[in-house]
Amino acid sequence: MRSLLLLASVICLSSTIAYADYTIRNVYKFENADMVATQNGSNAMIASVIGYSEDSNGNKASLKCVVNVANGQISGHCQGTDQDGDIEYTTVARDMTGGNKQGTFQRTGGTGKYANSLATCVYTVELSDFTVGVGYLTADCKE
């Protein structure tokens, strides 16, 4: 009986570890996009993206990203400045083939509270319209 209780406790504890350290909500808008056709018939695009995010720790940030989209893959670099003036540097990636709406962004460092701090976030695009150039995403993050 004791080992059954111990096993149940370990399972409960490990299931809580799987949850995110914090969550993010983000709205964004594509700006200054430019596109060219490629040899294989697909398009390649580069764009700057501006946005606003809020995390479950109470941080709010204005964001600016430069992204590349080619062969259904999005990749880029972002810089966010929060309410304290601290800067967070991130990379973003997503395989958009097949309508995939999940991707990752990774904090690679920053200033203030983000200095020497790494995090990985799995995001889901909840709403987007490439014609209008806007979107909304949510993310679960682990430090």
**For residue range 25-75, what is the model confidence (pLDDT) as tens digits?**
999 999 999 999 989 888 899 999 999 999 999 999 999 999 999 988 999
For the chain, where are the E strands, in sequence order? 22-37, 43-55, 60-70, 73-82, 87-95, 102-110, 119-129, 134-142
Domains of the chain: 20-142 (2.40.160)
The helix (run of H) or strand (run of E) holding residue 11 is: helix 2-17
Cα gap 22→56, rounded to integer Å: 6
What pLDDT digit, counting tens, does each position of 8-26 carry?
333 343 434 445 699 999 9
- Count the alpha carbons within 13 Å of 137 in the hemisphere toward its beta carbon: 23
Cα gap 26→53, rounded to integer Å: 4
Q: What pLDDT sits at residue 17?
A: 44
For the chain, the average pLDDT equals 87
